[in-house]
Amino acid sequence: MKVSVFGAINQEKEIMIELDSVMIDEEAFFINYFDGEAYYSRALQFKNSGQRPSLVFNIASVALERYLVALCDLYGEDPRNHNYITLMRSVENFMEVPKDLNRRIKAMDWIFGICSIDEYRHPNPDETDMENVLVLCVEVQKLFSQQRIASLKALMQQELAV
Q: For 7-56, how does the pLDDT look when each residue is reduced to its tens digit (9 = 90+)? A: 433 334 455 666 666 778 888 999 999 999 999 999 999 999 999 999 99
Q: Domain locations in the chain?
A: 25-160
The region that residue 3 occupies, defined by phi over 0 for left and psi between -120 and 50 for alpha, beta otherwise, is beta
Strand intervals (E) in the chain: 3-6, 16-19, 22-25
Q: pLDDT digits over 56-72, tens only?
A: 999 999 999 999 999 99
Please state which CATH class domain 25-160 belongs to: mainly alpha
Mean per-residue pLDDT for 138-156? 92
Q: What is the pLDDT of residue 157?
A: 80
Task: Report pTM.
Answer: 0.84
The region that residue 113 occupies, defined by phi over 0 for left and psi between -120 and 50 for alpha, beta otherwise, is left
